[in-house]
């Protein structure tokens, strides 16, 4: 019985597999490589977390496209707003943009 219960649980590896599948589906719809989508996700997280504490596990990013346009849609759960930007993360961002 415990085996059946564990099979349905959300394990970290299950969440990772779902996220990878979602990235592949986004790639197919938007004609963007999964690697580029993952890099975009990482860059968005790096930039946002300087100012906002977010729930990265529940973050969803999609790139939708039609013949005429593309749109980036992000659903990012916010845990709290930082009153003072995180300097360590800010320094990393500052040096990468220079």
pTM value is: 0.54
Residue 76 has what pLDDT?
94
Are 61 and 44 in contact, with CB atoms under 8 Å apart?
yes
pLDDT digits (tens, 9 = 90+) for 9-24: 566 788 878 777 776 6
Are 65 and 92 in contact, with CB atoms under 8 Å apart?
no
Are 50 and 90 in contact, with CB atoms under 8 Å apart?
yes
Average pLDDT estimate for 61-66: 80
Domain ranges of the chain: 12-97
pLDDT digits (tens, 9 = 90+) for 82-95: 888 776 654 555 54
């Amino acid at each position: 019985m415990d085996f059946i219960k564990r099979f349905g649980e959300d394990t970290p590896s299950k969440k990772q597999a779902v996220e990878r599948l979602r990235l592949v589906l986004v790639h197919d719809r938007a004609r963007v490589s999964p690697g580029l989508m993952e890099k975009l996700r990482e860059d968005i997280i790096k930039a946002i977390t300087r100012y906002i504490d977010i729930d990265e596990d529940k973050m969803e990013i999609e790139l939708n496209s039609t013949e005429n346009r593309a749109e980036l849609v992000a659903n990012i759960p916010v845990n709290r707003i930082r009153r003072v930007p995180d300097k360590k993360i800010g320094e990393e961002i500052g040096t990468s943009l220079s």
